């Protein structure tokens, strides 16, 4: 893809890969650059299974949104939403109920520009350009307040974003948990090295705009605070309420690389 395209903001760093654009490429999107594609090709050679992280994670997102819709949730705050590709939160939710409302939050410029473009005719979805590690700015953004009713349950989605919060993620997540009403849900997935060595992946991500930190089961569990995990608890992405289970859990855990869970506020 040519880098001289009308969706590329002038502020975009074209020298380093971006996690959002890497994810976009792996999922078959076309809002990425050569530097992102080369990063993925290198990862494929080093660890062919790493591409599965994104694929299983995207499938997990779909199941979470549908589950929350079944629980009566009709508004979502999607933290670190990335670049829109097929199967976005608003597409999944609004197919069930067109009145479902979604606030996307992202800091990556390409993701923000493209999201704003595709959402401009959707009155029930909006993109907020902000850093999710600054909850006050996210929660008090005019678009957030206009779109979401904080007196009603909200589905807070932190899908594959917590591992980019290098310092004090517990405080960041606590701020979002505190801001929403009882009956709200938090769905998250998070990179872990409990099942396989992630040192090489985390080292490679140092070459991108987005360093990561893998965390243990206990560390990820603390991000839910005192909320109640729904069944099957904290598992890996493909093990969480799968449409069908076709392989032993141990095999899935080795491949998935991400803890996944959903919890409800009392």
Q: Over the stretch 197-219, which tens digit does the pLDDT of each residue have?
A: 888 778 877 777 778 999 999 99
Phi, psi of 25 (to 5 degrees): -65, -45
What mean pLDDT is predicted for residues 76-105? 93
Predicted pLDDT at 31: 75
Which band of pLDDT confidence, cut at 50, 70 and 90, is reported for residue 14? low
The verdict on residue 1 lying in a domain is no
The verdict on residue 5 lying in a domain is no
More reliable by pLDDT, 159 or 22: 159
The verdict on residue 158 lying in a domain is yes
**CATH number of the domain encompassing residue 238:** 3.40.50.150
pTM, to two decimals? 0.88
The verdict on residue 72 lying in a domain is yes
Q: Return the C-alpha torsion angle 226, 231, 235, 238, nearest 10.
A: -140
The verdict on residue 11 lying in a domain is no
The verdict on residue 3 lying in a domain is no
Phi, psi of 54 (to 5 degrees): -70, -40
The verdict on residue 247 lying in a domain is yes
More reliable by pLDDT, 23 or 233: 233
Predicted pLDDT at 214: 94
| Residue of 102, 34, 47 whose CA lies nearest to 74 | 102
How many domains does the chain contain in total? 1
Predicted pLDDT at 9: 54
Structure tokens at 14: 């074209």
Q: Exposure pattern of 115-146 as b/e (b: 16+ CB <10 Å)?
A: beeebeeeebbbbbbbebbebeebbebeebee
Domain span at residue 151?
19-264
The verdict on residue 215 lying in a domain is yes
């Amino acid at each position: 893809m040519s880098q001289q395209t009308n969706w590329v903001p002038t502020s975009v760093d074209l020298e380093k890969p971006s996690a959002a654009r890497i994810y976009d490429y792996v999922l078959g999107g076309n809002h990425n650059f050569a530097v992102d594609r080369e990063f993925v090709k290198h990862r494929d050679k080093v660890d062919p299974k790493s591409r599965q992280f994104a694929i299983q994670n995207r499938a997990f997102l779909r199941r979470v949104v549908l589950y929350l819709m079944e629980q009566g949730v009709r508004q979502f705050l999607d933290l670190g939403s990335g670049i829109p590709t097929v199967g976005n939160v608003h597409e999944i939710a609004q197919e069930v109920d067109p009145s479902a409302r979604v606030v996307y939050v992202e800091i990556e410029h390409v993701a923000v520009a493209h999201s704003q473009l595709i959402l401009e005719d959707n009155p029930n979805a909006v993109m907020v350009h902000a850093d999710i590690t600054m909850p006050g700015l996210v929660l008090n953004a005019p678009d957030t307040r206009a779109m979401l009713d904080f007196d009603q349950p909200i589905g807070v989605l932190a899908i594959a974003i917590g591992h980019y919060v290098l310092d004090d993620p517990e405080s960041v997540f606590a701020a979002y948990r505190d801001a929403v009403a009882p009956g709200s849900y938090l769905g998250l997935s998070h990179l872990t090295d409990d099942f396989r060595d992630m040192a090489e992946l985390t080292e490679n991500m140092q070459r991108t705009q987005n360093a990561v930190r893998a965390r243990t089961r206990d560390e990820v569990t603390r991000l839910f605070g005192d909320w109640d995990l729904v069944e099957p608890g904290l598992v890996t992405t493909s093990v969480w309420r799968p449409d069908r289970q076709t392989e032993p859990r141990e095999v899935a855990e080795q491949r998935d690389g991400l803890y996944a869970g959903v919890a409800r506020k009392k």
